[in-house]
């Protein structure tokens, strides 16, 4: 049985896509999950340099209170001595990749004080938009929303 011309065309297109230099969605998802894990660990120990390396210059953070900050403001908050983390983890992390863009969403569980010594302990839904620029993933936007206590 001979393959049809359309079947050959489909395999040709799949082959071109595989050789195009883009990472497979599974590889990109794993890369984003690794970055999220590094980010969580870096914030827990106030490692501003590691977090800075992950943020795009035009990064925007929207906190649980709705206030928006740029990258430098967010990093200054992490560097502040009033930023104290007792425990910090990310669960239920899911990543969707759309070419050179990705969306990650998970549940952040933390015990700590932020934003001028306010207790921010709780569970938060965190969503981050990632863009691949010059071969590296960068966070361009993060939104955190407190999960209501049940």
- State whether residue 121 is helix, strand or coil: coil
Give the residue with greater pLDDT, 45 vs 72. 72
- Is the pLDDT reported for residue 149 higher than 90? no
pLDDT digits (tens, 9 = 90+) for 92-104: 999 999 999 999 9
φ/ψ of 33, rounded to 5, equals -60, -40
Name which of 4-8, 77-81, 99-103, 112-116 the model is least confident about: 4-8
Contacts of 90 (CB under 8 A, 6+ apart): 36, 37, 40, 106, 107, 108, 109, 126
**Contact (Cβ atoms closer than 8 angstroms) between residue 77 and residue 69:** yes
> CA-to-CA distance for 42 and 48, rounded, in angstroms?
7
* Dist. CA 144–CA 127, nearest whole Å: 7
Chain-centre distance for alpha carbon 102: 8
Helix-strand-coil split of the chain, %, nearest 5 = 35, 45, 25
Mean pLDDT of 7-26: 44
Cα gap 94→97, rounded to integer Å: 10
**Region 60-80 average pLDDT:** 90
The structure tokens 């799949």 sit at 14
**CATH class of the 23-146 domain in this structure:** alpha beta
Domain residues of the chain, as ranges?
Answer: 23-146
Residues pairing with 137 in the sheet: 132
């Amino acid at each position: 049985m001979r393959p049809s011309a359309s079947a050959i065309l489909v395999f040709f297109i799949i082959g071109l896509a595989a050789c195009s230099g883009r990472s497979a969605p599974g590889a990109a998802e794993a890369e984003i999950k690794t970055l999220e894990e590094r980010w969580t660990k870096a914030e827990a120990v106030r490692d501003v340099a590691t977090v800075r390396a992950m943020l795009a210059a035009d990064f925007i953070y929207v906190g649980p209170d709705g206030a928006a900050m740029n990258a430098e403001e967010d990093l200054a908050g992490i560097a502040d001595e009033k930023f104290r983390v007792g425990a910090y983890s990310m669960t239920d992390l899911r990543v969707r990749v759309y070419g050179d863009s990705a969306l990650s969403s998970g549940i952040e569980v933390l015990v700590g004080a932020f934003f001028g010594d306010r207790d921010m302990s709780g569970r938060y839904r965190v969503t981050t938009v990632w863009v691949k620029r010059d071969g590296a993933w960068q966070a361009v936007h993060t939104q955190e929303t407190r999960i209501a206590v049940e």
